[in-house]
Structure 1
């Protein structure tokens, strides 16, 4: 026996509660809140006709991060019995028992209350919109048990930032806001179906419902269609705002990214599908940049 094999294993250093909470809210994976942030900020810019001011910008950036983090806590509590059977999620703090259900729900409540406190500094309309947004966020994880397309419910929740942005700026929610909300729902369907494709085999085995399972062999075609519907609706809704060349260049670049995503997912490999999901925030960032530049050049 070699001397190396006889050496004792290094002691396991217990992790701090703070480090576990950071894992719980996926702090090291910003792609999850960036796909929420870009459409929210796009809605904020459109609602304000340009830069919305530092107060609203801070409210919606911080609020987005806080609510996504709270949503992760609720999701992990709801899915704790399933997560242990999926390789990608087996080490999440709640399913391993490193963080208790009570702790996770307490963290979620604190984060949600902080986000609500930020909304209270805006308008009554935004406060009223925040209630259904929170309820859908809580309800979403449980739809995986009975609804064939739970990603659509996630799309409803993830798109509410657009509606709240208009409510905060204008004190009302015009038709344009609801149309942008509806269009963004298709983007969420696209990228979260890519995400669901990563775990399709595990989800089939444990009995979870996902859009990747429901769509079956039409998954790649459907995802591509979802992207195109999203971009078509946003192009149509924003056309009257005369954002000019920057916005249409951004649309062209977004379409190029759709082609890139198709190339990543067409073989349905786990690596390709996960990469496609992780890189989705660039598509949202591209559209946001086009909107910002469009307003900047108008002023």
Structure 2
């Protein structure tokens, strides 16, 4: 039996969440911060770009037709990161994650053999994160999607230990997908907020998980980093050097930072076949998964073509195309 082609980086838009938070205290301020970080030129493009893609983002039939055209058998569908709303208070955050989990599950239920889903966990309220994960699993989802940080908290914060523990125990997937970059207005032109901001946030978040010893304490954690892990995999030698040369850098984790890349998973969305080959070299072909960022413009409309461009061996190609993700989705929640 041929292994299905599985895209682990695809999004669903959930209008009910935006209706839920509209007008609440803190919402306007969050939108203003997002506008400052992106800049007016990016916002002028973003609105029409998303608007054109509403059918792919909301209608399962349109999604499935697009998957057929791409040669994708299965998508792991996660809420648009715009739905994180990490500004929200505890009561609102619980409403957001419950609605996100339920609506994502409903979307995927249209084709359960082809659509698997992820929910949300409110990182701004660590005490809710495990509850959100449990609720996602109860809906039949495969895990949760999180950003690279929450206001005032990095992923190395001890408050997240219960989340990592429970995800490890259940085999749930955790999809690390940044939204917004704290470099703020420095990136407010030329869409640097995304092209530089996303890979920066990935690198910072993964470094926190590595250097803090989080991955030592939770070796079975199934964490998938979007955008190929950002800048970290191709610049991991600098981290290794610091760990070896400085007592402060090496104090928190037991092994060379580069060794932890083989404990993480990465999507293939790096937009450069040479970078993809390097990611596979440092992380291992068994740790890279096909990803497209469907259907946004910073993704790829031909994920398999992007994978072929890396000129991998047949075994590595098949691993990234679907075998690795199939194993993850089979092991998790089994």
Provide the TM-score with structure 1 as the length reference. Answer: 0.33
Larger radius of gyration: 1
Normalized per residue, which structure has more helix? 1
Normalized per residue, which structure has more strand? 2
